[in-house]
Amino acid sequence: MNQPISERVRWTTADLELFPDNGNRYEIIDGELFVTKAHHWKHQKTCVRISTSLDNWSQTTGLGEVVIAPGIIFGDNDNVIPDVVWASNERLPLLLDEGGHLTGAPELVVEVLSAGSENEKRDRELKLKLYSSRGVREYWIADWRKQQVEVYRREQANLKLVATLFNGDELSSPILPNFTCAIAQLFN
């Protein structure tokens, strides 16, 4: 007797409207639904430190804007909420829809690792592939437990790991002229 082949449920952006506003974070990557709970205090503190550093630089240079936890709607099957994004003033108007949502790749995306192997795998593998395929120019993965930042930069058509920075190091980027930030400052 043949077993019926069941199709995998594919979630869409429209499905997100059906979920309750209960403090959970709902993301869709390649049609798969991911639900995460509220983050650890130090996770959130790291997000604030990174965004503050980027915001101070952005206000000084006038080159772009930084936002914490914006949704990025890449399409029906890819709708994510990165921890921090930075977009240039030139690119930002092209990314925002009428509702003020990002619909394309900002230049920089930052994810701060959450506890759990599933969360880490999502940020290191699924989101890395998604951001790479959608044109993000730089991707930082911050780990507040290890006090390190991995920097991925676009080389040819993919994001590649170019540096792992630790407590004594300085973070800088070719897409952020004259931006520097001490790694230790992000985790204290």
Instruction: Give tens-digit pLDDT for 117-131.
Output: 888 999 999 999 999
| Strand ordering across the sheet containing 32-36 | 32-36, 25-29, 78-80, 72-75
Q: Which residue has the higher pLDDT, 148 or 101?
A: 148
Q: Which residue has the higher pLDDT, 70 or 90?
A: 90
What pLDDT is attached to residue 4?
57
Helix (H) or strand (E) holding 152: strand 148-155
Highest mean pLDDT among 17-21, 57-61, 100-104: 57-61
Quick check: helix, strand or coil at residue 40? Answer: coil
Give the least confident one: 26-40, 100-114, 139-153: 26-40
For range 49-76, the mean pLDDT: 96
CA-to-CA separations, 33 to 19, 129, 131, 160, in angstroms, rounded: 11, 16, 17, 26
For range 132-140, the mean pLDDT: 97
What pLDDT is attached to residue 188?
83
For range 69-81, the mean pLDDT: 91
For range 135-144, the mean pLDDT: 98
Q: Model-level pTM?
A: 0.87
Q: C-alpha 144: how far from its chain's center? A: 15
139: burial class by Cβ within 10 Å (0-12, 13-18, 19+)? buried
What pLDDT is attached to residue 3?
57
Highest mean pLDDT among 21-30, 54-63, 75-84: 54-63
Q: Is 80 exceeded by the pLDDT of residue 8?
A: no
Average pLDDT, the chain: 91
Q: Which residue has the higher pLDDT, 103 or 115?
A: 103
Q: Which residue has the higher pLDDT, 178 or 21?
A: 178
Provide the token pair at 93. Answer: 């108007």
Residue bearing tokens 């509702």: 99
What pLDDT is attached to residue 5?
60
The rounded percent of the chain whose pLDDT value lies above 90 is 68
| Separation CA 145–CA 59 (nearest Å) | 29
